[in-house]
Amino acid sequence: MSSEIIIKRRLWPRKKRWRAVLLTGIVIILLLIASIIIGYLFLRKSLPMIEGNVSVAGITDKVEVIRDQNGVPHIVAKNNHDLYFAQGYVTAQDRLFQMDLSRKQASGELSEVIGSSLVDQDKYFRTLGLRRAAKISYEGYSDEAKSVLQSYADGVNAFILEAKEKNTLPVEFTLAGYEPTEWSPIDSLTIGKYMAYDLGGHYKGQAFRYYMAQHVSDEKLLELFPTYPEEGATVIQAMRDHPVDISKSIATAPFPNEFNGSNNWVVSGVKSESGMPILADDPHLALATPSIWYETHLQSDEVNVSGVIFAGVPGIILGRNEHIAWGVTNVGPDVQDLYIERRNPDNPNQFEYMGNWEEATIIEEPIKVKDGDTIPYQVQVTRHGPIISEFTHDHKEETALALRWTALDASTELEAVLMFNQAKNWTEFKEALTYFHTPAQNFVFAAKDGTIAYRANGLIPIRKKGDSSVPVPGWTDEYEWEGYIPWDELPTIVNPEEGFISTANNKIAKDEYPYHITNTWAQPYRQQRIQDVLSSKKVLTAKDMLKLQFDQHNLQAEEFVPFLIDVVSNSEDGLRDIDKTVIKEFEAWDFVDRIEDGEPLVFHKWMEEFANVLFEESIPKEIDNLFEGKSQIVDQMIRDAKNGHEGIWLSEAGGIEQVTVESFKRAVEFAIEKQGDKPSKWSWGEFHQVPFNHPLSAITPLNYLFNSNEAVSMGGSGVTVAAASFNRDTGAITHGAAWRSVIDLANMEESYNVVGPGQSGHVLSTFYHDQITDWTTGNYHITYTNKEKYKENSYKLVLHPAK
């Protein structure tokens, strides 16, 4: 046999193997393509119908829904029942999964659909009782408001029924393995109560100081107070005499972001180019996909209003109608108190009050668990509120903490919202505010008649004793609430001489104001910057307002960097060449947190590490999460040291020089680790980016599906007007103004708006992430209420009554 034949015989099997590999590869690729196509078609099937005609049972006449080129639905109906029915239907089209998750979270029902990992969180929200509060609130609403709630719920349910029948529910329900149940008016009110929680009060700060009272001296404890507490020695001793290990419970609670707040301002016609008021508003809440805000225009014979609302709630909470415009920021008053309760050692359901044992109300709250047994759970409610210190364990200690909170009482915020939507002037708007109880908000207002106004509105308790800085004894009547600040004495301003009003969660009352609001205010930098800009020009335009909402000037850095750099430069502690290079960069910095600069990267880490050097040895991480007002307290420690009054925390940490240098070097090392050893190449935007995470994106590989865009760079920070608070380790921007709006009352038919990341919750929708670029670059779209303008490049859906 020739060698040629032998070679061929040897090659043939190899060729067959290659053919087999190639064929296998082709089959895999074809299967992958087929899977992608099937997945795409499955996703596409659940895209909401936004054009054409649809028959819907429950409406009395046809309703037009015109989505403009930004996905904003303009809903036009002939009566209010059909209007709010359509609002429920349309919002569910875009946001049903978000709505369902929101009501379940607030109600403590996530374990039922997600699993046992969320049992403790559900116990917490069952203990708070937001849904119970919603139920008692419902009874206080007018028949008209109840009718709106029911019409909205009927619209949501019409969409749910339609989607179930057509098998077109949002894909998230399939992935989570459940279907939504019927919507009810109580669901809408429960979401409203959750927003009160999100903007709630200061009880975590009370819990923090309670813990620290057990672990540090009086001198060190008092430096951690926003101000010296009334009856300080007495209440501190009461905390020490009745300890509760909150690390097992309260420290694990899912507290709202401390930076929840907002900016708003209004300029009078005297100071505006148009000769009419200009109003700006940008509420700061969690950033996610979809947005917490849903922009909508509602029009019937009785109402014509445009703005935003929380998905799952009827009406418009922030916006404008044909006569007025309004916006809010959070007041942040002390509306939550922790009471130290003495439990009867012989009866765990009794608590001492005025020398007697009182029976607590016991509420059964069984928790259903997906793929598991229902967990029996009881909530104890004392005269001061639910026992909050035991939700993670069943052991009944002789001392417990109860939570008193305005939002757990009946309240009627939606009544106020519906009245806002139809108000024509300040008198009518102010009357509507009598129904808005919680959360207390700073309202700014403007009207076509030229009026501008401000009001801090809501229920703010008056206490017999104490200032809500620490938990107080619950076995005596010494610390009871005696009512609320009288409505006609709440801080109010109308048509001030300055020609403008602004708020940014700052201190709103002068020292001589006779009532306690809070001692814990936001850092003053956003408010100061707004005031500086509004004062700097005699005439302001809407474009000035748009620019100011995206302003990234860092007044905290401007206050502290010169002093801190001087401390570092004069330190005897040896500085490396890279440290000296960073110092030179700081000396040339103009204190703007812009994307391309490296100084913000070092500065913000420096401030974080300054606090770490002070507290990391004394405050456990889980307790540090409760440290409310930490930034303000550290700021004041630096100011005091600058003025020659070094406090005990600084002294024990080695003094201002040692703490400053050590924290500076840590910050530089952090920057090197993240972006290399060339400071000139460091970039704030490379670190500081917004991902707009979807709630299911925490599950790999669903992040690739729902987080369809890569994280996008943005300037600003938590102390700039362009609010962009971030995760200190990853740089991910998780909190800011998902809604920005500017309204020039010279033209009430339009407003400048942006909703980050977009209107729709459907990953294949044009409106899913289409506003990210605008949001991160300070651009806006115009929302019109004139049909001739908003119908351009629009999508028209007509709802017809089912025959």
- 361, two tokens: 């109300």
CB-CB contact of 800 with 60 (8 Å) = no
Quote the DSSP letter at residue 592: B
- 56, two tokens: 């819907």
Residue 629: count of CB within 10 angstroms of its CB:
22
φ/ψ bin of 699: left (φ > 0), alpha (ψ from -120 to 50), beta (otherwise): beta
The strand pair at 318-320 and 304-310 is best described as antiparallel
CB-CB contact of 62 with 773 (8 Å) = no
| H or E stretch at 658 | helix 655-675
CB-CB contact of 711 with 691 (8 Å) = yes
Quote the DSSP letter at residue 490: S
CB-CB contact of 290 with 693 (8 Å) = no
- 399, two tokens: 């001392």
Q: How far is CA 312 from CA 89, 346, 395, 633, in A?
A: 10, 45, 37, 38
CB-CB contact of 685 with 715 (8 Å) = yes
Question: Hey, is 373 helix, strand or coil?
Answer: coil
Q: Among 131, 134, 113, 111, which residue's Cα sits nearest to residue 121?
A: 111
Q: How far is CA 200 from CA 440, 612, 738, in A?
A: 8, 27, 19
Question: Hey, is 295 helix, strand or coil?
Answer: strand
- Rounded to 5°, the CA angle 793-797-801 comes to 160
d(CA 270, CA 280): 16
| Active-site hit among 107, 249, 262, 794 | 262
Residue with token string 């001030």: 496
- Tell me the three-class secondary structure of 712-739, residue by residue: EECCCECCCCCEEEECCCCCEEEEECCE
Residue with token string 């090659």: 11
Q: Is 468 known to be catalytic?
A: no
**Is 337 among the annotated ligand-binding positions?**
yes
**Is 198 among the annotated ligand-binding positions?**
no
Catalytic positions are 262
Numbered residues of the known binding site for Ca(2+): 334, 337
Q: Which residues sit in the known binding site? A: 334, 337
